[in-house]
Chains A and B, each alone.
Chain A
């Protein structure tokens, strides 16, 4: 499913003294199959944007177009419930949404709301979801979700989102608060999902290293507008503009900038592996 937004606008508390234009004329197309990054300062409108994608926030009247696959989100008749089963959304600290008595019941919550299959089918789907996120079904299914460890809780919460097999997975800062090992494992999980029923991944992140490492393209939000949409390779070459916006560049970006200042241009896509390889090449050339 392709995501298309044209002149998308959203104002919080319109007509009041506290009106805030969170999105101003945002136009963006995300193709099926992308691992799309959304970066921007706090309050740049990125969270508002992603919440439009499953109808949690409705676009203002002046917006021209907002479609996700065949769903027209500007249409009042749009079946938002069906849309939400196709667009999975993982919020910040998803473990705080756990509520049920057992992990299995919590994971089944979304499935029951959307499809309500029979018990055997439900159990099978829950098992599949839990195993996808790397939890042992037999071990955790009857446990209280609150007895799991932090990392396990997050996995269980994500199992609760992917249990409906969404085609688009939207994640807001999904690795916040995880340790380095947890982060690596989490991205491995995302890539594994990306090859399966999840066709498109949209990820909001402050961590530019993650964006450089994983995203096919990224959009930079600034004050409710899109500053630029480009693959990381092009985006991070322009380190000065990003830093001026209060954003970071990946570590490889800093290193490449320093090398460039010393007269060595490394044509890298800013992933660590590629940067190391290309720098080594340059070094060998000099030898």
Chain B
């Protein structure tokens, strides 16, 4: 359990770490848009995006391997969608055929294209979570969603719920580990038996966990009450977010990526 770190924040101080979280969120969205802008089969656009990630990871002082490892969680998804493309795409020249399956050159290219697109998007967004603490992301989102207050969306409450949830994930992980150990010490077995048996084996963990979550929620509510928490009204921030020259540099860098992608879209495509 100890090895499953939620979120993947990499605690160092760097250029990217010190950027305004709001700007980082917006730039992440811009980056996703940039990757989607790459026109089909214009693979040099991906090279530009890859270079962008490489330089950003360097500026963030995050080992590049960490960024690459972030795709581990979606590797199944990538393989699944490329296999579908390869097997069931009927456009282009047929290279091999068997029953309803035709492998075509377009299918292969498309699989490569989709793989690169997903991989680069995940790597880019991983950079956001590697360099920004969950609390910073929640604060940043609250600030970015402020306009929604006009349509009576409870932005502050939404952000509060998010930060509380994030704050308590490590606590609940510790608690889970403790309960698992306590039940293991009483001979509980989570690794053998069929699916139903394994699901039933979770009951002695889930019930104590649920109860302790309720207990914690009660205690937290009391603690907030005791410190006169009264919602968003008149609330000030301890840490004010302020964009600096770093954010300007980051934004310009992103603009360069988008410009590069658009330029490369005009030339250097793989013609089919």
**Bound Cα distance A98, B207 (Å):** 8
Q: CB-CB < 8 A to B186: which residues of A?
A: 84, 97, 109-110, 113, 160-161
Q: CB-CB < 8 A to B203: which residues of A?
A: 99
A71 on interface, CB distance cutoff 8 Å: no
A91 on interface, CB distance cutoff 8 Å: yes
Does the CB pair A113–B188 fall under 8 Å? yes
Residue in A97, A110, A113 whose Cβ sees the most chain B Cβ within 10 Å: A97
- Per-residue 0/1 for A76-102: is the Cβ within 8 Å of any B Cβ (1 yes, 0 no)? 000001001100110110101111100
Say whether, besides A13-B3, A97-B179, A84 and B185 are in contact (CB < 8 Å): yes
Does the CB pair A91–B189 fall under 8 Å? no
User: Which residues of B approach A to under 8 Å, CB–CB?
Assistant: 2-3, 175, 178-179, 181-189, 203-205, 207-208, 211-212
Q: Shortest distance in angstroms between B241's beta carbon and chain A's nearest beta carbon?
A: 27
Across the interface, B187 reaches (CB within 8 A) one of A12, A81, A98, namely A81
A51 on interface, CB distance cutoff 8 Å: yes
Across the interface, A97 reaches (CB within 8 A) one of B3, B183, B187, B189, namely B183
Q: CB-CB < 8 A to B175: which residues of A?
A: 96
Does the CB pair B2–A12 fall under 8 Å? yes
Say whether, besides A13-B3, A51-B181, A97 and B208 are in contact (CB < 8 Å): yes
A275 on interface, CB distance cutoff 8 Å: no
**Bound Cα distance A85, B179 (Å):** 17
Q: Shortest distance in angstroms between B193's beta carbon and chain A's nearest beta carbon?
A: 12
**Bound Cα distance A146, B186 (Å):** 19
Across the interface, B184 reaches (CB within 8 A) one of A56, A92, A146, namely A56
Does the CB pair B185–A88 fall under 8 Å? yes
Does the CB pair B207–A56 fall under 8 Å? no
Does the CB pair B181–A96 fall under 8 Å? no
A265 on interface, CB distance cutoff 8 Å: no
A197 on interface, CB distance cutoff 8 Å: no
**Bound Cα distance A13, B208 (Å):** 27
User: Which residues of A approach B to under 8 Å, CB–CB?
Assistant: 12-13, 51, 54, 56, 81, 84-85, 88-89, 91-92, 94, 96-100, 109-110, 113-114, 146, 160-161, 164
Does the CB pair B204–A109 fall under 8 Å? yes
Does the CB pair A91–B204 fall under 8 Å? no
Q: CB-CB < 8 A to A161: which residues of B?
A: 185-186
Residue in A84, A113, A114, A164 whose Cβ sees the most chain B Cβ within 10 Å: A113
Q: Shortest distance in angstroms between A116's beta carbon and chain B's nearest beta carbon?
A: 10
Residue in A84, A98, A99 whose Cβ sees the most chain B Cβ within 10 Å: A99
Q: CB-CB < 8 A to B2: which residues of A?
A: 12-13
Q: CB-CB < 8 A to A56: which residues of B?
A: 181, 184-185
Does the CB pair A98–B208 fall under 8 Å? yes
Q: Shortest distance in angstroms between B177's beta carbon and chain A's nearest beta carbon?
A: 10
Q: Shortest distance in angstroms between A172's beta carbon and chain B's nearest beta carbon?
A: 10
Q: CB-CB < 8 A to A12: which residues of B?
A: 2
Q: Shortest distance in angstroms between B176's beta carbon and chain A's nearest beta carbon?
A: 11
Q: CB-CB < 8 A to A113: which residues of B?
A: 186-189
Q: Shortest distance in angstroms between A111's beta carbon and chain B's nearest beta carbon?
A: 8
Say whether, besides A12-B2, A13-B2, A56-B181, A99 and B204 are in contact (CB < 8 Å): yes
Who on chain B is nearest to A161 by CB?
B186
Q: Shortest distance in angstroms between A95's beta carbon and chain B's nearest beta carbon?
A: 9
Say whether, besides A110-B186, A160-B186, A91 and B181 are in contact (CB < 8 Å): yes
Say whether, besides A12-B2, A13-B3, A96 and B187 are in contact (CB < 8 Å): no
Across the interface, B208 reaches (CB within 8 A) one of A84, A88, A99, A114, namely A99
Who on chain B is nearest to A97 by CB?
B182
**Bound Cα distance A190, B205 (Å):** 27
Q: CB-CB < 8 A to B211: which residues of A?
A: 96, 146
Q: Shortest distance in angstroms between A202's beta carbon and chain B's nearest beta carbon?
A: 13
Q: Shortest distance in angstroms between B211's beta carbon and chain A's nearest beta carbon?
A: 7
Does the CB pair B189–A96 fall under 8 Å? no
Q: List 19 A-B contacts (CB under 8 A).
A: A13-B3, A84-B184, A84-B186, A84-B187, A91-B181, A92-B178, A96-B178, A96-B208, A97-B179, A98-B208, A99-B204, A100-B204, A109-B183, A109-B187, A110-B187, A114-B187, A146-B211, A160-B186, A161-B185
**Bound Cα distance A12, B181 (Å):** 16
